[in-house]
Structure 1
């Protein structure tokens, strides 16, 4: 690649977006140490920086993955061979979890490699985003027609969600369903066809309920899940049981006020608020850094989501546009569910806060997804700044010489 072309590519990267991503990652690392230092020693018997050190390793791996995805042309992931690999790979990996997976918190959702746990369902999010973007991009010319062939990706998505739900991991399955629904609606498919399928599936579920309810009913309506509903509806009535998490989340948020108690000065992390470094990290941020800390996180996450949607709007390529929508929807939906849970607006589902909460699988997935988003942004900006066809052709040719075929 000649120097002039390299400079033009370098200028086309979305540096505000990259900065926002790494600001959140570094801030999250600091808050993971602050929120987990007590529980690491008292609850788990580890060193005070145990979770911080593990997350730091994941962040280094994630940073490497991010830069790899940032420089690989996103259209590589639209190739038929890759899409077929993703298509067959996702159910195989999810079936493998049932055979060789690690069980934690009554769910078989993990592969355990030494001291590291990997959750395949997290990477299935990106796999489905990739698959749906490729499929609907290829169907753009016929999506306006009521062709029944368009419904196969919908049923495949439901099949993957069912495999995740029976682990059981209903929270992740629901998030994936919402992400995919946002992509399907944005793809250009006829809404009449989509809602016909939703109605048809609802009828099938209702008709077959006498058969599946005896098998799955106890799991879906388990005592633990129903207690979460009780804790959500009246947390102070069940403050010693189902509402314990939410009541202490309220106390943390209320204690912080405008400026917070100060970094490292949280009281709720002293065993009062379980999972302070994962699901409830925003409660600790509110307690220690107040409204300013919460606003900092929400503004940066909102910026990333809105930037992603803007990239999707500007991208002339259907595959790139749908990819950007999927990644933006993933971050936006997870953020809303996490914040809604700690604020008592929705039942607690155990969804981490993107880029901030502790969790290696989640961080690695997000860094890969955002690296892809930055790459899409680079191509969009390159076309805007250097509209000449010769320039774009040179960029494609140089990429192809290095095996990155479009």
Structure 2
């Protein structure tokens, strides 16, 4: 039992749990007034819903911690089929929220299948490029075929339309593919083609409302009452917080000024109420998860596990960068939640499950290292004798 406990990576387990609990507190603070005055619900309604999703996510997290990650490699066909069926179901039975048909109602729950695609595609690409390591330098034989599935998934997500999620998935895919060992010129070609297609589709699907997100991001004060309004309110929240913040629950911007305060712009509320200390708490914990994941990827001797760890780390890191870029005006507002903290049940469950997989990979790495470190010279000599005896038995039997 003591040996099994030593295999757990507590440095990787603690930050996502801290961020998830912190997120519920901030969701309550950011949404309590809106819940009462706009939705006519109790002040704690959104925090309660997020708490229910957290329970589901914790079950998935524990399952993934103990379930051997190598089994996913054998389930790639079913995972791909599940992703395609989920996105087709959105097209047939989906519900439109905030101009995007991305959700499916399952009884009292609203599920966003595109979030499931993130981890599903990471598993698929990690598995398929592990199999192709012997000829990974061959662009048409190794690199190109899996991109057909990737492109189909991206097309279904863009059609919703959800260009922000599609951009995240595209970035994750490029990270996994590059890490698999393909040639840099092949990756450059893929990135160029992918960005060209995304931009072309984006221009065709752009509406006045979506175009305003770009003008609002880089020229917010030219239209402070419309396209630049949200970002300006975010600036006010960030500037008001200072070093220590105005106090949890005491923020002003969430009182009808800053929309989507509990989801896309929750970091602005954190900044206003908890100041620089709150921001650093979130950034440090997110950084620990990403860096620890990359460390595990480096230590893992299994190619599938290494690519899987890189993909999960990239997913969390890229999503955090896009969210933080949006609230600070560095990137257009795309509706991307902050990992573990923003309101959003499907996102939270997928992230906790993904970190559970990362912990399972870490357990395998730590178990192997523990066994190597605990092997005494006497054990090594005994192993040599056993191997020698087995050789003699095999040779004599022939």
Same fold judged by TM-score > 0.5?
A: yes
Q: CA deviation at 1:194?
A: 3.4
Given the alignment, which residue of 365, 368, 378 partners 2:353? 368
Query: What is the CA–CA distance in structure 1 between the aligned matches of 2:65 and 2:304, rounded to whole Å?
Result: 16
Q: Which moved more, 1:20-29 or 1:121-130?
A: 20-29
Aligned pair in 2 of structure 1 residues 131, 185: CA closer, same or farther (>3 Å)?
same
Identify the match of residue 305 of structure 1 among 270, 290, 293. 290
Consecutive unaligned residues of structure 1, counting only runs of 5 or more, are: 1-5, 392-406
Distance of 2:138 and 2:59 partners within structure 1: 43
* Aligned CA-pair RMSD: 2.1
**1:201 to 1:336, Cα distance in 2 relative to 1, 3 A:** closer
- SS at structure 1 position matched to 2:102: strand
From the superposition, tell whether residues 201 and 250 of structure 1 become closer, same or farther in structure 2 (CA, over 3 Å).
Answer: closer
2:326 is aligned to: 341
Distance (whole Å) between structure 1 residues aligned to residue 370 and residue 99 of structure 2: 53
Q: CA deviation at 1:202?
A: 7.6
Hey, what does 1:16 align to over in structure 2?
11
Q: Aligned pair in 2 of structure 1 residues 305, 183: CA closer, same or farther (>3 Å)?
A: same
Comparing 294-303 and 100-109, the one that deviates more: 100-109
What is residue 82 of structure 2 aligned with on the other side? 89
Say whether residues 1:238 and 2:204 are aligned partners: no
CA distance in structure 2 between the partners assigned to 1:50 and 1:383 by the alignment: 45
Which structure's CA Rg is the greater one?
A: 2
Query: Which SS does the other structure have where 2:280 is aligned?
Result: helix
Report Cα offsets for 1:145-185 as digits up to 9, x if no partner.
44534311123212211110011111100100001111101
CA distance in 2 between counterparts of 1:174 and 1:197 reads 14
For 1:137, the equivalent position in structure 2 comes to 130
Q: Does 1:172 align with 2:157?
A: no
- SS of the residue corresponding to residue 108 of structure 1 reads strand
Distance in 2 (CA, whole Å) between partners of 1:202 and 1:377 is: 34
- Tell me if structure 1 keeps the 8 A contact 2:136–2:142: no
Q: Which residue of 2 aligns with 1:322?
A: 307
2:221 partner SS: coil
Alignment partner of 1:276 is 2:261: yes
2:392 aligns to what?
Answer: none
Alpha-carbon distance in structure 2 between the residues aligned to 1:58 and 1:195: 39
Compute the displacement of 1:144 (Å). Answer: 3.1
Q: Distance in 2 between matches of 1:296 and 1:288?
A: 13
Aligned to 2:73: 78
Shift of 1:312: 0.3
Q: 1:321 aligns to what SS in structure 2?
A: helix
Q: 1:404 aligns to what?
A: none
